[in-house]
C-alpha cells in the first residue's frame, strides 16, 4: 500500500520538489502540502504538480495548529514530513502523531539545532558537516535521529558552498528515509527498528 504523506513547508520547497520527483513507484505519495507562509515557493511547486495544498495562518501557534489539525483529519496521512517547516510544534500536536512526524535538518544532530548551521560549523572549524532526518518532538530539531548524511568541509568552503553541496545530499537522504519507512525497512514497533533490529544509531547514507 502506498504511504500517504502530508508535507509541511515554509519556503523554497526544494526537499518537497525532490520528494515529488522521486515518488513514482517509490511506495509513497505526497497527498497534501501545508505551508505557514502564503508566499512559499513550495506552494507553487505543489500546485504545478497537481498536489492539494493549503496555507495555514500561523501567527499564533494555537490557531495554526488547530487549522492544521482540521486539515489533517481529512487528509489522514500515514506520515507527516517537515521539509523546511520553520515552526516548532507543541507537545499536544506532536502527541497526536507520535512517531509519525519526521523533520530534515541541515546538521549532524544533536550538533547545531536551530538556524545558520553552515556558518556555525565553519565558525567552530569543524571538518565534517551533514544533515539528519529525525523524529519530531516538541523541542527544536530534537528527537531520535533516524538517518544522516555527511560531507567534508574544505579549507575554502563558505556557508554558501556548504549549503549548495549539502542540499543535494539532503534531498537524497530524505527520499531514501521516506522510502525506507514506506517499505518497512525502518519501522517503529516498540522503538525504531532497522530491518527489525533496534536502531541504536542513525542509518548513514554513504554515497
Ligand atoms: C533545508 O536545508 C532544511 O534542512 C532546513 O531548511 C531548508 C529548507 O529548504 N530545515 C531546517 O533548518 C529545520 N530546522 P527547502 O525549502 O528548499 O527544502
Chain segment 65-105, per-residue pLDDT in tens: 999 999 999 999 999 999 999 999 999 999 999 999 999 99
Kindly name the residue from 32, 105, 118, 134 that is annotated as catalytic: 105
Nearest-CA residue for ligand 1 atom 17 is 14
What's the grid cell of residue 157?
568552503
In a domain, 191, yes or no: yes
What pLDDT, on a 0 to 100 scale, did the predictor assign at position 206?
A: 82
In a domain, 141, yes or no: yes
In a domain, 42, yes or no: yes
Q: What is the pLDDT of residues 25-36, one digit of tens each?
A: 999 999 999 999
In a domain, 124, yes or no: no
What pLDDT, on a 0 to 100 scale, did the predictor assign at position 207?
A: 66
Range of the domain at 82: 3-115+130-150+172-205
In a domain, 35, yes or no: yes
Separation of 16 CA from ligand 1 center, angstroms?
10
In a domain, 176, yes or no: yes
Domains: count for the chain: 1
Q: Which of 105, 87, 84 is nearest to 41 (CA)?
A: 84
Which positions ≥6 away from 64 have C-beta within 8 Å? 36, 56, 57, 58, 87
CA–CA gap between residue 65 and residue 30 (Å, rounded) = 20
**Is the shortest distance between the CB of 13 and ligand 1 below 6 Å?**
yes
DSSP state at residue 160? H
CATH code at position 29? 3.40.50.170
Output the pTM of the full model. 0.98
In a domain, 157, yes or no: no
In a domain, 67, yes or no: yes
Nearest-CA residue for ligand 1 atom 2 is 106
State yes or no: is 134 an active-site residue.
no
Amino acid at each position: 500500500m502506498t504511504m500517504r504523506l502530508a508535507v509541511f513547508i515554509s519556503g523554497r520547497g526544494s526537499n518537497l520538489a525532490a520528494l515529488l520527483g522521486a515518488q513514482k513507484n517509490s511506495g509513497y505519495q505526497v497527498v497534501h502540502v501545508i505551508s505557514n507562509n502564503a508566499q512559499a515557493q513550495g506552494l507553487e511547486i505543489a500546485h504545478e504538480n497537481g498536489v492539494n495544498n493549503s496555507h495555514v495562518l500561523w501567527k499564533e501557534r494555537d490557531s495554526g495548529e488547530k487549522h492544521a489539525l482540521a486539515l489533517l483529519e481529512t487528509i489522514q496521512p500515514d506520515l507527516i514530513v517537515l521539509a523546511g517547516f520553520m515552526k516548532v510544534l507543541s507537545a499536544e500536536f506532536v502527541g497526536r502523531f507520535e512517531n509519525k512526524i519526521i523533520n530534515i535538518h541541515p546538521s549532524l544532530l544533536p550538533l547545531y539545532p536551530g538556524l545558520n548551521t553552515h556558518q556555525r560549523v565553519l565558525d567552530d572549524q569543524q571538518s565534517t558537516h551533514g544533515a539528519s532526518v529525525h523524529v519530531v518532538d516538541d523541542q527544536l530539531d530534537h528527537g531520535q535521529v533516524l538517518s544522516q548524511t555527511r560531507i567534508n568541509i574544505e579549507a575554502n568552503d563558505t556557508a554558501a558552498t556548504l549549503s549548495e553541496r549539502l542540499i543535494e545530499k539532503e534531498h537524497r537522504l530524505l527520499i531514501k528515509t521516506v522510502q525506507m519507512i514506506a517499505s518497512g525497512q525502518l519501522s517503529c514497533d516498540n522503538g525504531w527498528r532497522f530491518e527489525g533490529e533496534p536502531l541504536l544509531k542513525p542509518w548513514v547514507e554513504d554515497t
